Structure 1
Amino acid sequence: MREMIEKSKLLVFDLDGTLYEDTDHFDYYCSLLQQRADVSIQEEFYNAYEEMKQGSHPVAIGKVYDLKKDAALTVDPLTLQVTAAHLWDGTPIDEETLKREYSGELTYDFERFIAIGDGWWLPYVTAMHYGLSQQDTWESYNATKVYMVSDEFSLTKTPGLKESLQRLQREKHLVLMTNSEKDDVLRLLRELELDELFDEIFSSSRKPVKTKEILKAIISKYKVKPEEAVSIGDNFINEIAPALLMGLNAVYIQPNGCDLHHDNLYIVPTLEQAF
Structure 2
Amino acid sequence: MEFVIITGMSGAGKSRAIAAMEDIGYYCVDNIPPKLVKTFTDLCMQAHGKIQKVAIVIDARSKEIFGNIFEGIEDFVSGQNGFKILFLDCDDATLIQRYKETRRSHPLMDGEITSIEEAIAAERELLKKIRSSADYIIDTTYLSVNQLREKVVGIFLDDTKQSMLVNCMSFGFKYGLPKEADLVFDVRCLPNPFYVPELKNLTGLDAPVREYVLKWEQAQNLIPKLFDLVDYLLPLYCNEGKTQLTIAIGCTGGKHRSVVFAQLVAEHMQELQMRYTISHRDIPKQ
Structure ID, larger Rg: 2
Give 1 or 2: higher helix fraction.
Answer: 2
- TM-score tier by shorter-chain length is under 0.3
Q: Return the structure number with greater relative CO, CA threshold 8 A, min gap 6.
A: 1
| TM-score scaled by length of structure 2 | 0.24
| TM-score scaled by length of structure 1 | 0.25
